Amino acid sequence: MGMTMTQKILAAHAGLEEVVAGQLIQANLDMVLGNDITTPVAVREFAKIGVTEVFDKQKVAIVPDHFTPNKDIKAAEQCKLIREFAHDKEIENYFEVGEMGIEHALLPEKGLVVPGDVVIGADSHTCTYGALGAFSTGIGSTDMAAGMATGKAWFKVPAAIKFVLTGKPSKWVSGKDVILHIIGKIGVDGALYKSMEFVGDGLANLSMDDRLSMANMAIEAGAKNGIFLVDEKTLEFVKEHATKEYTIYEPDADAEYEMEYTIDLSTIRPTVSFPHLPDNTRTIDEVGEIQLDQVVIGSCTNGRIEDMRVAAQILKGKKVAKGLRVIVFPATQKIYLQALREGLIEQMVEAGVVFSTPTCGPCLGGHMGILAKGERAIATTNRNFVGRMGHPESEVYLASPAVAAASALTGRISNPEEVAE
C-alpha cells in the first residue's frame, strides 16, 4: 500500500519500511520547540525525569515570544526560568530579546527546520513547518519534556486529506484567504487528527510566505499537521536558509486519502472569518457594514515580509481612519530590519500605524493590543475564539493583511480593491 508524505516521513523516523493510518509508532525527533508559556512547565517535568542533559543541544529550540518583552513580573519570572535552563543545558538555539522572533517564523528563517524533518513544539501552531515539507505538530509541555530528554515521541499515524490546488489567485488574494476558504468549507473539525496534504500545479502560484500561512492554520481545521509538496520554490528557500541536510518525501501514486478536494485558486475571493470560530467565513462581498475599533497586522500567520509589503502598499500616502487603533508587528527582527530598509515602516507610521517589536502579545490577548468590552478588531492572526484578544464580549474578525490594511483606512471591514491604487 502506498504512503502519503506524512506517513513516509514518520516511517523513516521510526525505522520502519512502512506505516499505516492509526498505527502507534515511536519516532526520532529533529527538533523540540518551546516558548515562554509552555517551556516553564516542561522544565519542571524534565527535572522529574531524572536526566541531567537534553538529548541534543542543537535539536532543542526555546523562543520567548508570547509575553516578551516581559509584560509583568510573572512573565519575567517565566523567562528567567527558561533562560537559566537554556544556559545550564547549553541549548544552542535559545533566542533572547534582540535576536528572537515569533517562533514559527524564526525557525524557518534560521534554517532550523528543513524538508523531511520531524518537529514537535509545545505550541499548537508548530504545524507551520509543513510548508517546508516537514512533519511538524503541536504537543503538550510534558511531551516537550520527554522529547528534550529522549529525542523521541510517540505518534498515532494520521490518515490524510488531499488538497489539489489549481489556478492562480487574483491580485489581493493570499494564502491566508485560501486557508480561510478551506476551513470555511470543511469546518474546524473537518480534518480532525488528519494530515492536510497540499499538491497540484497551483502550488507554483503560492509563495513560501503564502504556504507558511496556510500550514500554520491547519490546526484550525483540527488537523494533526499540514504539509506541502516540495517544489522549486521550496528548494530555493531551503538553499538560502538551511543549516543541515534534508530529505524530500513525495506521496506514492497509490497513497490512500480519506477525502480529496480540488481548490481552484482563481475562484477564491478575499475571505473573512467572523466571530467566534475560524470556519465562520464570508467573502469580502458578503461582509456588510462592520465597524472596527482596532486593526492588528502580524503574528506567526501573517507577520512575514510579504505581509508587511502588502500592508504598506495599501497604506502608503494615506491615513488610517480617525479614532482607529492600528498595530503592526513583524514576526522577527530580520523582517523588522528588512521592512525598515525598504521604507515600509516609515510609510505605515506616517499613515498613523503603531509599529511593535516582534511578539505574540496581541494575538492571544496577552499584551500590546488587548480589546475592551464590546470592541471589535480585524486581525491577521489565526484564532477568533471568545475572549481570544481580550474581553469575552469583544469580537475578532480574521483576514489577510490586504483586507486588514484596507479596513484600517475606512474604519470598517473593507475590500482592498476599493481602496488600493
CA triplet 354, 65, 368: central angle to 5 degrees?
Answer: 30
Q: Please determine, for residue 186, whether its predicted confidence score (pLDDT) is greater than 90.
A: yes
Nearest in space to 191 (alpha carbons), one of 175, 215, 213: 215
Q: Which helix (H) or strand (E) holds 282?
A: strand 281-283
Dist CA 50 CA 282 (whole Å)? 52
The DSSP code for 121 is E
So what's the pLDDT on residue 421? 63
Q: Please determine, for residue 169, whether its predicted confidence score (pLDDT) is greater than 80.
A: yes
Dist CA 160 CA 372 (whole Å)? 40
So what's the pLDDT on residue 68? 86
Neighbours of 188 (CB within 10 A): 16
Q: Please determine, for residue 337, whether its predicted confidence score (pLDDT) is greater than 80.
A: yes
Neighbours of 168 (CB within 10 A): 13
**Contact yes or no for 66/161 (Cβ under 8 A):** no
Q: Which helix (H) or strand (E) holds 302?
A: helix 299-302
Write the pLDDT tens digit of every residue in 196-254.
Answer: 999 999 999 999 999 999 999 999 999 999 999 999 999 999 999 989 999 999 999 99
Q: Please determine, for residue 1, whether its predicted confidence score (pLDDT) is greater than 80.
A: no
Q: At what angle do helices 305-315 and 208-216 cross, to 10 degrees?
A: 100
Q: Concatenated DSSP letters for 246-265?
A: -------TTB--SEEEEEEG
Strands 152-156 and 24-28: antiparallel
Q: Concatenated DSSP letters for 328-397?
A: EE-SBHHHHHHHHHTTHHHHHHHTT-EE--S-STTTTTSSSSPBPTT-EEEESSS---TTTTB-TT-EEE
C-alpha count within 13 angstroms, C-beta hemisphere, residue 334: 14
Backbone φ and ψ for 89, nearest 5 degrees, come out as -90, 0
The DSSP code for 128 is G
Q: Please determine, for residue 28, whether its predicted confidence score (pLDDT) is greater than 80.
A: yes
Write the pLDDT tens digit of every residue in 41-87.
Answer: 999 999 999 899 999 999 999 999 999 889 999 999 999 999 999 99
Tell me how far CA of residue 405 lies from CA of 31, 171, 280, 289, 318, in angstroms: 35, 15, 21, 16, 11
The model's pTM is 0.94
So what's the pLDDT on residue 100? 84
Could you give the 3-state DSSP secondary structure of residue 218?
helix
**CA 138 to chain CA centroid, nearest Å:** 11
Neighbours of 208 (CB within 10 A): 21
Dist CA 207 CA 138 (whole Å)? 24
Dist CA 114 CA 242 (whole Å)? 6
Write the pLDDT tens digit of every residue in 396-413.
Answer: 999 999 999 999 999 999
Neighbours of 58 (CB within 10 A): 14
Confidence of residue 420 (pLDDT cuts 50, 70, 90): low
What is the end-to-end Cα distance of the chain in Å, rounded? 53
User: What are the structural domains of the chain?
Assistant: 5-264 (3.30.499.10), 272-419 (3.30.499.10)
C-alpha count within 13 angstroms, C-beta hemisphere, residue 308: 29
Contacts 24+ apart (CB under 8 A), 49-53: 49/145, 49/146, 49/149, 51/149, 53/89
Write the pLDDT tens digit of every residue in 348-400.
Answer: 999 999 999 999 888 888 889 999 999 999 999 999 999 999 999 999 999 99
- Mean pLDDT across the chain: 95
Q: Concatenated DSSP letters for 94-110?
A: E--TTT-B-HHHHHHHT
Tell me how far CA of residue 411 lies from CA of 45, 208, 234, 292, 295, in angstroms: 47, 30, 37, 5, 9
Write the pLDDT tens digit of every residue in 271-300.
Answer: 999 999 999 999 999 999 999 999 999 999
